[in-house]
Chain A
């Protein structure tokens, strides 16, 4: 089977993302990239933990003054649910149901946009209510770098999924684009993995004090 071959339900392989050599290479290469991303985020977490609540004078807001449970909880639920909807998309991809896959990817994008909206509101709130900015303290720099880098990954992941959906809208599923959809969904799960540590280490541990 080659990548451009017209696919039918009968010919669709069980693991379409790894059927071609290109697909196999992308799979290994992408996991190598995720290993590197793990190191990137670990260094940002290390920086945040070392500089948490390090402010120049007592007028600056600390972690326990800033974070609130309801917003952090809402953002976590949005991102966690979007991880499940992208699993549904890959389930339909394996069953060769292109329309259903597109639908679930669309729901994933909407949930991701909801998360992004909350994050923008949150940062805006901190800057205007608490004067907690990127340059106000070492704590501020470390916080916005870590959480902002994650938010940047959300923006990139959303653009990636939207582009894939638009680019392949009339093409249908093939062995050429199956690895692309699969890797975009892996990337989306990885974003959720990082968020699990952000809500635990930054928000929940921040509220504990």
Chain B
């Protein structure tokens, strides 16, 4: 992580600096949480208001995808350095998973 390089040799200075950085990051986490709550409410309202399925289904799937990006990159820290292997694993899994879903939706028809 980038704040590994901020050793001044003075422990109390380092700690004050790191705590500040952590508090800053926590603020971003709370903002992403607020956005996730907002997307969730919008998705439920879109369904509750009884709009046409042709609009609602792609719309709530898009909201879900955005929410998951927030969850992965902020809550699960994938935006931090040193997450190349996790990204490889997750996206490989996602690729196989999406192909599975596509296959099932097209060849299973009974």
Which residues of A does B touch, CB under 8 Å? Answer: 9-11, 13-15, 18, 27-28, 31-32, 34-39, 41-43, 45-47, 49-51, 54, 69, 72-73, 76-77, 80, 83-84, 87-88, 91, 94-95, 186, 189-190, 192-193, 196-197, 199-201, 204-205, 207-209
Task: Give the dominant DSSP class at B's interface.
Answer: helix
Cβ contact of B60, chosen from A27, A43, A205, A209, cutoff 8 A: A205
Interchain pairs with CB closer than 8 A, number? 142
Q: Is the CB of B104 within 8 A of A47?
A: yes
Chain B contact residue count (CB 8 A cutoff): 53
Given that A35-B90, A193-B71, A196-B64 are contacting pairs, would A80 and B85 also be in contact in the complex, using a CB cutoff of 8 Å?
Answer: no
Q: Across the interface, do B26 and A91 meet the contact criterion of CB distance under 8 Å?
A: yes
**Whole-angstrom distance from the CB of B70 to the nearest CB of chain A?**
10
Q: Are B47 and A84 in contact (CB under 8 A)?
A: no
Enumerate chain B interface residues (CB-CB to A < 8 A): 1, 3-4, 6, 11-12, 15, 18-19, 22, 25-26, 29-30, 33, 36-37, 40, 43-44, 47-48, 53, 56-57, 60-61, 63-64, 67-68, 71-72, 75-76, 82, 85-86, 89-90, 92-94, 96-98, 100-101, 103-105, 108, 110
Contact A197 B30 (CB under 8 A): no
Given A18-B82, A83-B75, A196-B67, A208 and B47 touching (CB < 8 A)?
yes
Known A-B contacts A14-B1, A14-B3, A200-B43; A189 and B93 likewise in contact (beta carbons under 8 Å):
no
Are A208's CB and B56's CB within 8 A?
yes
The interface residues of chain B lying within 8 Å CB-to-CB of A94 are 18, 22
Inter-chain contact B72/A50, CB cutoff 8 Å: no
